[in-house]
Amino acid sequence: MVKKSPEAYRTIGEASKEIGVPTYVLRFWETKFKQVKLIKRPGGRRFYKPEDINLLLEIKNFLKNDGLSIKQVNEKLNSKIDNIKPNNTDTILVSDEKHTFKNKDEVLNRLNNILEILSK
């Protein structure tokens, strides 16, 4: 099996193995944590971005290691998101990483490339 790059999207099975929880747990967390913005194809197939994997690992840590409730985890995640405010319209914030694009066309080109990869 070919090893995927860290930037590659993961299927639910791959994400499950990487995070260390069963697939049904990921589906459940998807309903409880709106911060997880995975891509769901028309056929129902899920794709997890690297940011989703990082967020799910953080959720797992809060639940399993810190013993927080779902409500407490949501509050923590919401307060973290509320503290991230863009400086200008040409800056896109993803999780706690900052990706800067020169203009909106560059963003559209990047999104079209992602769509093309997922369509294969």
Asked if residues 37 and 31 have their Cβ atoms less than 8 Å apart, the reply is: no
* CATH number of domain containing 4: 1.10.1660.10
Whether residue 77 is contained in a domain is answered as no
Position 78 scores a pLDDT of 84
Tell me, yes or no, whether 1 and 58 share the same domain: yes
Q: Which domain holds residue 112?
A: 82-120
Most trustworthy range by pLDDT among 43-52, 78-87, 90-99: 43-52
Tell me, yes or no, whether 61 and 104 share the same domain: no
CA-CA distances (angstroms) from residue 24 to 15, 29, 31, 80? 12, 9, 11, 26
- Model-level pTM greater than 0.85? no
Tell me, yes or no, whether 105 and 51 share the same domain: no
Tell me, yes or no, whether 59 and 10 share the same domain: yes
Tell me, yes or no, whether 55 and 86 share the same domain: no
